[in-house]
Amino acid sequence: MDIVELTVTALAERVRGRQLSAVEVAQAYLARIAELEPTLHAFITVDAEGALAAARALDLRLARGEDVGPLAGVPIALKDIFVTQGLRTTCGSRILADWVPPYEGTPSARLRAAGAVVLGKANMDEFAMGSSNENSAFGVCRNPWDVDRVPGGSSGGSAAAVAGRLCLGALGTDTGGSIRQPAALCGVVGIKPTYGRVSRYGVIAFASSLDQVGPIARTTEDAAALLEVIAGHDPLDATSLPQPVGRYREACRRGVRGLRIGVPAEYFAAGLDPEIETAVRAAIDQLAAQGAEVVDISLPHTKYAIATYYLLCTAEASSNLARYDGVRFGLRAARPRDLRDLYSRTRHDGFGPEVRRRIILGTFALSAGYYDAYYAKGQRVRTLIRQDFSRAFERCDVIVVSTLPIMVFKLGERLDDSLQMYLADIYTISCNLAGLPGLSLPCGFSRQGLPIGLQVLGPPLGEEQVFAVAGSYEQAHDWHRRVPEVRR
């Protein structure tokens, strides 16, 4: 039995039944990290000592006959945007390079309480700003399927770690596609839940009205198992929804008979790679063969989504990142001449170029004389995009499209062209603007052997329908069972 090939459910059952010890599991994954991490650089911080201590404590509790939770011994990576008590949290930035938080955020606390073992903090684009993981202050992460290519971003380290078998599951955050996009490029499953479905308490903010926490895993059922643990109301997050958590694992096995699948023309327009379109249309045909009804729909304001998103997210980033001033925590410029010099040099030295670019854009959009022309107008268009989805879901139960319009690109290929980098998110950002659940899962491989992602979108709190479609498709294929051979 190869420990690193077990699913979440299978591994947790063996640990609870004491067929495997949590220490054995942690050691197996830490050995895999030691072997491949120098190549992939999926982690910013590996906490081997903390992981083994947690695993030993779990085994002792099991020996006493205690219930240790549904994720007993499951090895997890956390995107380095999650606040972890006593464990360095950098957000991929020099400005927080040495920050050790005094408290634990809700998502990671819920995983630990359910028996998961945290292996470390995954690499990411700085402050979650990027689509390739090339904006990390701690070096680029590489795609396990081709180490000369990006893993996607901003949760690139989380997706690469799952695909490379450096962990069994991971948490990421998704502001405009930052879970689904790297999941697609790394050939794994990632879900962005409904806005408010998972607490953001202890998640370092990028754009607060768009950010959402979600899991990345190898299978839909593994992702569902993780989401069942982290979802649910949290009084520490004012945006947290009070509705009960769905039965997501069960939904993965429901099938799609009778479900209506919407296919929007706007997502199959010019710019979509022909290989991707072929794979996605084949997936839609597969779902129809399984009993779903395919319905043509329209999302007419999709063409405004990129402009709307980059107005709103940069404005919110400008506001949220104002707290990094060198006064209270994080990097502080040495020997400042005065307060202005302290602010200026701290922020220039601490933030990378992409973060500075977005702060400048957002500050401009919020400035006097431009607020109504840019930020306020962006909010109005956001409402139109949300209304498009509301009307579409009157005619269908889920929407099925591609996750990205392009194949995974090479490191450095788009780094100097911000517009082309931003356009890679064209199929994922509308989901965030509307606050909807969206899941990406593998639906094939290109002629070059690169993963292709299928995206399933649902109405608010429609995670069960999303998992039903994803699970039904996944059961008919073996894409999720393929393992990359990492070239070292």
Strand order in the sheet with 43-46: 43-46, 117-122, 75-79, 169-173, 213-217, 189-192, 438-445, 451-457, 398-402, 260-264, 293-297
Question: Which listed residue (79, 132, 155, 472) is catalytic?
Answer: 79
For residue 154, whether the previous peptide bond is cis, meaning omega lies within 30 degrees of 0, is: yes
Question: Which listed residue (21, 132, 154, 240) is catalytic?
Answer: 154
CB of 157 closer than 8 Å to CB of 81: no
Is 318 annotated in the active site? no
Q: What is the pairing mode between strands 213-217 and 189-192?
A: antiparallel
Contacts (Cβ under 8 Å, ≥6 apart) of 13: none
Closest C-alpha to 346, from 327, 333, 359: 333
Report which residue type is found at 451.
P
Give the Cβ contact number of residue 265 at 10 Å. 12
Tokens of 360: 């400048």
Tokens of 136: 């990390």
Kindly list the distances between the CA atom of residue 33 and the CA atoms of 172, 235, 405, in Å, as whole numbers in the listed order.
Answer: 19, 36, 31
Question: Which listed residue (108, 158, 178, 402) is catalytic?
Answer: 178
Is 377 annotated in the active site? no
48-63 vs 22-40: helix axis angle to the nearest 10? Answer: 160
Q: Which residues is 402 bridged to in the sheet?
A: 454
Is 154 annotated in the active site? yes
Q: Which residues are catalytic?
A: 79, 154, 178
